């Protein structure tokens, strides 16, 4: 498997986990204003610990068909470390 194929597999695995979280908590897809090619949407999850968000690969959008698209959703300014601290707080 080439490096590019492995990277896509890692994104796909992450997308399955994010999809699961988005089914458990209030969540929406939103167009990504700063999108890199192939990542046109962001999933926003409103968890009891605060907002979580990830850019989603266009090739993984099939895992998020259960979500509505809402361009009005606003990022709360969380950093990547804050996002993972919120996720950790949900875990423990």
In tens digits, what is the pLDDT along the chain, a chain of 92 residues?
Answer: 555 555 668 889 999 999 999 999 999 999 998 888 999 999 999 999 999 999 999 999 999 999 999 999 999 999 999 999 999 999 98
- Report angle CA 29, 35, 38 to the nearest 5 degrees: 85
Q: Which residues of 15-27 are buried (b: 16+ CB within 10 A; e: fewer)?
A: beebbebbeeeeb
Question: Under 8 Å CB-to-CB from 9, ≥6 apart: which residues?
Answer: 1
3-state secondary structure of 50: strand
Across-strand partners of 69?
29
């Amino acid at each position: 498997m080439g490096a590019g194929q492995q990277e896509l597999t890692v994104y796909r695995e992450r997308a399955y986990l994010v999809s699961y979280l988005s089914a458990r908590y209030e969540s929406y897809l939103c167009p990504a204003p700063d999108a890199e090619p192939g990542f046109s949407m962001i999933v926003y999850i409103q968890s009891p610990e605060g907002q979580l968000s990830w850019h989603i690969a266009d090739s993984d959008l099939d895992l998020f068909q259960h979500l509505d698209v809402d361009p009005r959703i606003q990022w709360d300014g969380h950093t990547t470390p804050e996002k993972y601290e919120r996720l950790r707080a949900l875990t423990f």
